[in-house]
């Protein structure tokens, strides 16, 4: 194993396309999975529906646009970083070599070659970053790509300890948060997020905030942490605590905090707090309510849309048959596993909602294909537990 590996990263700021690497699952493994979802989706809704084909084609383009993050050989290694920056009002992309000193939500600071002057670039103009990972970090990503989540997380911990650059440590923490969420270790995910924000309040990885988007019973440990967080003077932490407590006996306190945060000066916090309130009304929302939700969803940064998209899709799925279009609703829900696969539990819920909706109208063959994905890759989720009541899912489980 090489001691260092040069990797091209798509660590785009949160208002742009999400990084394929930060979530802990490199692009080389992620994009084929997204395409598989699209294949399931297309076969489910039928190839004769032109609007759906157009939508799916757009999603394919989004999934493929990022390319792969490929390791470079030892001979190709460089002792410096390289960034690509949007220039001339977006008319061209300029590249700069150097050493990244800082990289957060607001800016990237790049020191020139041989200790030259430091230049500052707006974070939202950064299109690509090329840097060097430690062996521990590369090994962690390889383990995660191969499905060895436990080994990957352990190696990420080692990578954090040996990584001297704070901006890369931030990335490692973000990857650990996503792994913890996938493993349903929500307390750990929240603790890591607090550490992430404490180390860099302007982190690029705000979108790893482990909010709950489903009704979920809290463990004693989770509730104790949530009660502590909701009282925090840090609005990010208070939002997290309120999200967790919304389906607990402390619901009223959570509601009041979310309403307060919905007017927060930070539009990300305000928007997410507003979307969290949708959880209260998702089963009774009118078509007018859902149309307003759609407008807010379109204004959200793309990497904050997974949970809100799930709620919007759930709301449309609950509408009377005369007020909804099943195929359009399935298109909406399937955006979550296709575009946000790192949101493991939200992706599972969206798959379940899609399959259930198809099953309700007798499209069992199409529902079967989606349930098959749920059974194969989301066994540890609440949605899988609920889906197990379906005759189709019971049949699938009995075959294994």
Model pLDDT, residue 315: 96
- Segment 91-103 shows an average pLDDT of 94
Residue 38: band (very low, low, confident or very high) from pLDDT cuts 50, 70, 90: low
Sheet holding 92-103, edge to edge: 4-9, 126-134, 81-87, 92-103, 107-111, 118-122
Of the chain, the percentage scoring pLDDT greater than 90 comes to 71
% of the chain exceeding 70 in pLDDT: 80
Query: CA torsion sign, 239 to 241 to 243 to 246?
Result: negative
pLDDT, mean over the chain: 84
Separation between Cα atoms, residue 110 and residue 96, nearest integer Å: 8
What pLDDT is recorded for position 114?
80
Query: What token pair was written down for 54?
Result: 């157009």
Tokens, residue 14: 């949160």
pLDDT top residue among 239 and 91 = 239
Q: List pLDDT tens digits, range 54-85.
A: 444 444 444 444 433 344 433 334 468 999 99
What per-residue confidence (pLDDT) applies to 60? 42
Listed as own residue / partner, the contacts of 223-231 with beta carbons closer than 8 Å and 24 or more positions apart are 223/248, 223/250, 225/187, 225/190, 225/191, 226/250, 229/190, 229/194, 230/254, 230/257
Provide the pLDDT for residue 397.
83
Residue 13, CA distances (Å) to 56, 63, 171, 343 in order:
25, 17, 12, 18
CB atoms inside a 10 Å sphere around CB 250: 19
Q: Are the CB atoms for 38 and 338 separated by under 8 Å?
A: yes
What pairing do the DSSP bridges indicate for beta strands 107-111 and 92-103? antiparallel
Q: Please determine, for residue 35, whether its predicted confidence score (pLDDT) is greater than 70.
A: no
Q: What is the pLDDT of residues 299-318, one digit of tens each?
A: 999 999 999 999 999 999 99
309-to-24, 85, 143, 300, 367 alpha-carbon distances in Å:
22, 30, 30, 10, 20
Structure confidence at residue 46 (pLDDT): 53
What is residue 194's predicted lDDT score, i.e. its pLDDT? 98
Q: Both tokens of residue 132? A: 């060097």
pLDDT in tens, 174-216: 999 999 999 999 999 999 999 999 999 999 999 999 999 999 9
pLDDT digits (tens, 9 = 90+) for 148-182: 999 999 999 999 999 999 999 999 999 999 999 99
Q: What confidence tens digit (pLDDT) does each residue in 1-16 have?
A: 334 444 444 333 333 3
Say if residues 101 and 111 touch (Cβ distance below 8 Å). yes
What pLDDT was estimated at residue 391?
A: 86
Question: To which residue do tokens 């294949």 refer?
Answer: 39
Question: What pLDDT, on the 0 to 100 scale, is given for residue 116?
Answer: 83
- 3-state class (DSSP) for residue 86: strand
Distances (CA, A) of 125 to 84, 129, 304: 9, 11, 19
pLDDT of residue 65: 43
* Per-residue pLDDT reduced to its tens digit, 234-255: 999 999 999 999 999 999 999 9
pLDDT score for 40 = 59
Residue 253 CA to chain centroid, in angstroms?
27
Please state which of the ranges 96-110, 199-213, 293-307, 378-392 shows the lowest mean pLDDT. 378-392
pLDDT (tens digit per residue) in 326-372: 999 999 999 999 999 999 999 999 999 999 999 999 999 999 999 99
Our measurement of the distance from residue 44's CA atom to the centroid of its chain's CA atoms, rounded to an integer in Å, reads: 24
């Amino acid at each position: 194993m090489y001691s260092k590996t040069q990797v091209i990263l798509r660590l785009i700021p949160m208002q742009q396309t999400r990084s394929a690497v930060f979530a802990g699952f490199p692009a080389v493994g992620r994009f084929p999975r997204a395409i598989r979802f699209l294949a399931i989706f297309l076969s489910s809704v039928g190839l004769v529906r032109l609007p759906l084909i157009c939508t799916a084609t757009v999603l394919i383009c989004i999934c493929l646009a990022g390319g792969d993050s490929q390791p470079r050989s030892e001979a190709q290694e460089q002792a410096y970083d390289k960034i690509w920056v949007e220039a001339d009002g977006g008319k061209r992309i300029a590249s700069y070599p150097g050493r990244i000193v800082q990289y957060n939500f607001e800016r990237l600071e790049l020191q020139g070659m041989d200790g030259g002057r430091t230049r500052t670039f707006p974070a939202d103009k950064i299109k690509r970053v090329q840097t060097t990972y430690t062996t521990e970090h590369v090994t962690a990503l390889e383990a995660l790509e191969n499905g060895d989540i436990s080994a990957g997380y352990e190696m990420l911990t080692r990578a954090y300890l040996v990584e001297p650059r704070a901006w890369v440590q931030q990335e490692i923490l973000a990857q650990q948060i996503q792994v913890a969420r996938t493993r349903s270790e929500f307390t750990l995910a929240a603790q890591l997020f607090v550490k992430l924000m404490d180390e860099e309040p302007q982190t690029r990885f705000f979108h790893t905030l482990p909010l709950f988007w489903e009704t979920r019973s809290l463990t004693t440990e989770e509730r104790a942490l949530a009660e502590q967080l909701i009282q925090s003077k840090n609005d990010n932490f208070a939002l997290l605590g309120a999200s967790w407590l919304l389906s607990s006996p402390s619901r009223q306190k959570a509601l009041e905090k979310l309403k307060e945060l919905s007017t927060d000066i930070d539009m990300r916090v305000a928007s997410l707090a507003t979307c969290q309130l949708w959880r209260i009304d998702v089963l009774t929302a009118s078509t007018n309510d859902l149309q307003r939700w759609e407008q807010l969803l379109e204004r959200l940064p793309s990497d904050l849309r997974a949970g809100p998209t799930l709620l919007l899709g759930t709301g449309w799925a609950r509408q009377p048959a005369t007020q909804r279009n099943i195929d359009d609703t399935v298109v909406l829900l399937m955006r979550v596993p296709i575009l946000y696969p790192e949101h493991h539990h939200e992706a599972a819920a969206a798959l379940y909602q899609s399959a259930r909706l198809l099953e309700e109208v007798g499209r069992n063959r199409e529902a079967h294909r989606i349930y098959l994905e749920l059974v194969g890759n989301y066994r540890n989720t609440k949605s899988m537990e609920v889906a197990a009541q379906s005759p189709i899912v019971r049949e699938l489980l009995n075959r294994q």
